[in-house]
Amino acid sequence: MMRTGSLIARFATADDLLKAVRELRGRGYTKLDAYSPFPIHGMSEALCAEDARLPWLVFLCGAAGALLGYGLQYYVSVIAYPLNVGGRPLHSWPAFIPVTFETTVLLAAFGAVIGMFAMNGLPRPHHPVFDVPGFERASHDAFFVEVRADDPQFDRARTEDILRVLGAMAVHEVSRA
């Protein structure tokens, strides 16, 4: 059992942060995360953090919305409450398209928002990184990289040296949750 928590280092600029992440990846670190006040172009590629599941979830939710919306209209208009209006067919599909479209968008949007927050593990009011001194600036003008203690390359002293060589302004240990 390791007793140390992960290391978190603060960098001055977004470009320094991106450079540090790329360098750490180059040295074989895999369990990394970065914190920044705005999304940094190229960061998710550098971290290999791209998650392909979300678009699929949105697609599936949209498809479910389309089926439910159309199914509802079919059930109501053909089975539950058939109304003969001027001899028009009960299953008049072109008239069902607008509502089908709306339910598709509605469920897909819920899928995107709820899926995104759920995959991010949010809402989570508290997290150990919030205890790092100066971390409140991560939502302002500070840029952090975190090397997790369960990374195979992790070594408390050596990793800290590497972070300092890469230009970290401060290195802290994150208490374990």
Partner 1 sequence: MSTKKREVTAVVEPSPRTGHGMPAAVQAHGERGADPELLLGSHTYDSVGDRISGIVLNQRSHPFAWFAVFGIAFLFLNGMMLTITWLLYRGVGIWGINQPAGWGFDIINFVWWIGIGHAGTLISAILLLMRQQWRTSINRFAEAMTLFAVACAGLYPLLHTGRPWVAYWLFPYPNAMGIWPQFRSPLIWDVFAVSTYMTVSALFWFVGLVPDLATLRDRAKNRIARILFGIGALGWRGSARHWSRYEAAYLMLAGLSTPLVLSVHSIVSFDFAVSVLPGWHATIFPPYFVAGAIYAGFAMVLTLAIPIRAWYGLKDFITDKHLDWMAKIMLATGLIVVYGYVMEIFYGWYSGNPYEGYLIKNRLTGPYAPMFWALLVCNGVAPQILWSPRWRSSPAILFVVSLVVSVGMWLERFIIIPVSLHRDFLPSSWGMYVPTIWDWSMFVGTLGLFFFLMFLFIRFLPMISIFEMRELLHRLRARKAGEGA
Contact footprint for partner 1 (CB under 8 A): 14, 21, 33-41, 43-44, 47, 49-51, 54-55, 58, 62, 72-73, 76-77, 80-81, 83, 85, 88, 92, 95-96, 98-99, 101-103, 105-106, 108-110, 112-113, 115-117, 119-120, 122-127, 129-130, 135-141
Q: How far apart are CA 4 and CA 38, in angstroms?
A: 29
User: Which tokens in the block code for residue 112?
Assistant: 């995107």
3 or 140: CB nearest partner 1: 140
User: Which tokens in the block code for residue 145?
Assistant: 């990289």
Q: How far apart are CA 38 and CA 17, in angstroms?
A: 12
Q: How far apart are CA 141 and CA 156, in angstroms?
A: 27
113 or 161: CB nearest partner 1: 113
Q: How far apart are CA 109 and CA 114, in angstroms?
A: 8
Q: CB of 146: closest distance to partner 1 in angstroms?
A: 8
Closest C-alpha to 8, from 141, 128, 152? 128
35 or 162: CB nearest partner 1: 35
User: Which tokens in the block code for residue 169?
Assistant: 């302004």
37 or 161: CB nearest partner 1: 37
